Homo-oligomer: A and B are copies of this chain.
């Protein structure tokens, strides 16, 4: 059985997040529907992160299994011709049988964007949270320091959380305006994942 790893990019504006839903378009739902059409069998796609509605991804990792012999570039191109404009596959690769997008991840990078000016911005409307005024970046940097390292995030877990342990490590938090966009502040949060 082949195991295929995908690198998926999406604009989450009109999507109800990653996870398949009975009602409403999702990334997983679109990928599974396109793969079922391409491969002519039912497919379950596993993702590295279940992003929320409106969240975008530049490199979401996902995988699925198939016995079809269609080459990798055929999978990538086929998917990109069938998926809606909001979703695309940037890479398709053979993966080891025991690869898992979530459990094999060695690190994650989340970027949070904030528009910090009085007026709304047409160019950032679906990409940044609007905070109507400047932010104290030094104070945010100082507070972010308290999150670095290993911490127990039990208080932030959802009731049905299936993670085996609540301890997570954050290695780096960068806070600063985007190049050429002085009113857009990025919070870049990076963590490596250590096997317990």
A contact set with B: CB distance below 8 Å? 9-11, 56, 58, 76-77, 80, 85-90, 117, 119-123, 125, 179
Contacts and interface: CB of A to CB of B under 8 A. Distances in A.
A119 B87 CA distance: 11
A120 B10 CA distance: 11
A123 B89 contact: no
Contact of A11 (B10, B89, B122, B179): B122
A123 B11 contact: yes
A89 B119 contact: yes
Contacts of A125: 11, 85
A11 B126 CA distance: 11
A141 B38 CA distance: 42
A122 B87 contact: yes
A123 B123 CA distance: 12
A120 B88 contact: yes
A125 B120 CA distance: 22
A89 B119 CA distance: 8
B123 A80 contact: no
A120 B179 CA distance: 24
A119 B80 contact: yes
Nearest to A83: B122
A27 to B, nearest CB: 10
A60 to B, nearest CB: 11
A183 B138 CA distance: 32
What 6 A-B pairs have minimum CB-CB distances, sorted nearest first? A11-B122, A179-B179, A86-B122, A10-B122, A88-B122, A88-B120
B9 A122 contact: yes
A77 B132 CA distance: 13
A25 B108 CA distance: 42
